[in-house]
Structure 1
Amino acid sequence: MEEIIIEALERPKKSGKFKEQGFVPGVLYGEGIEATTSVKFDALIVRKLISHHGSNAKVWVQYKGSKKFGFVKEVQFDPLSRRLLHIDVQMVAKDQKIQLHVPIHFINEDSLKVNQLEFQIYKHEVTVTGDMTLMPEAIEVDVSTLALGDQITYADFKLEESLVTDDLELIYGVVNHLKVLEVEEPETDADGAATVEPALVGEEEE
Structure 2
Amino acid sequence: MSNVFEFVAESRADSGKSAARRSRRQGNVPAVIYGGHSGPQMLVLNHNEVIKHLEHEAVYSHVLDVTVDGRTEKAILKGVQRNPAKFQVLHLDFLRVDMSEAVKVHVPLHFTHEATSVGGKKGGVAAHSMVDVEVSCLPSALPEFIEVDLTNLDIGGSLHLSDLVLPNGVEVVALAQGEDHNLPVVSMMASKTN
TM-score, length of structure 2 as denominator length: 0.79
* Contact map agreement 1:101 1:127 (CA 8 A) in 2: yes
Q: Which residue matches 2:178?
A: none
Pairing partner for 2:188 from 175, 178, 203: 175
* Contact map agreement 1:49 1:57 (CA 8 A) in 2: no
In the alignment of these two chains, the number of paired residues is 179
Pairing partner for 1:123 from 124, 127, 130: 130
State the alpha-carbon separation in 1 of the partners of residues 87 and 146 from structure 2. 24
Q: Which residue matches 1:79?
A: 84
What is the CA distance between 1:94 and its match in structure 2? 1.2
Map Cα deviations across residues 69-90 of structure 1 (whole Å, 9 max, x no partner).
1111111111222411111111
Would you say 1:106 and 2:111 are equivalent positions? yes
RMSD: 2.4
> Unpaired runs of 5+ in structure 1?
183-206
What is the CA distance between 1:162 and its match in structure 2? 2.1
Q: Percent identity?
A: 24
Report which structure shows greater RCO (CA 8 Å, sep ≥6): 2
Pairing partner for 1:37 from 32, 37, 41: 41
Would you say 1:88 and 2:93 are equivalent positions? yes
> Unpaired runs of 5+ in structure 2?
176-181
Distance 1:125 1:145, change over 3 A: same
SS of corresponding position for 1:74: strand
**Counterpart amino acid of 2:47?**
A
Correspondences of 1:43-54 after superposition (within 5 Å): 43-52=47-56, 53-54=58-59
**Counterpart amino acid of 1:78?**
N
Distance 1:3 1:133, change over 3 A: farther
Q: Which residue matches 2:143?
A: 136
* Contact map agreement 2:99 2:139 (CA 8 A) in 1: yes
Runs of 4+ in 1 over 4 A off after TM superposition: 110-114
What is the CA distance between 1:105 and its match in structure 2? 2.9
Distance 1:162 1:110, change over 3 A: same
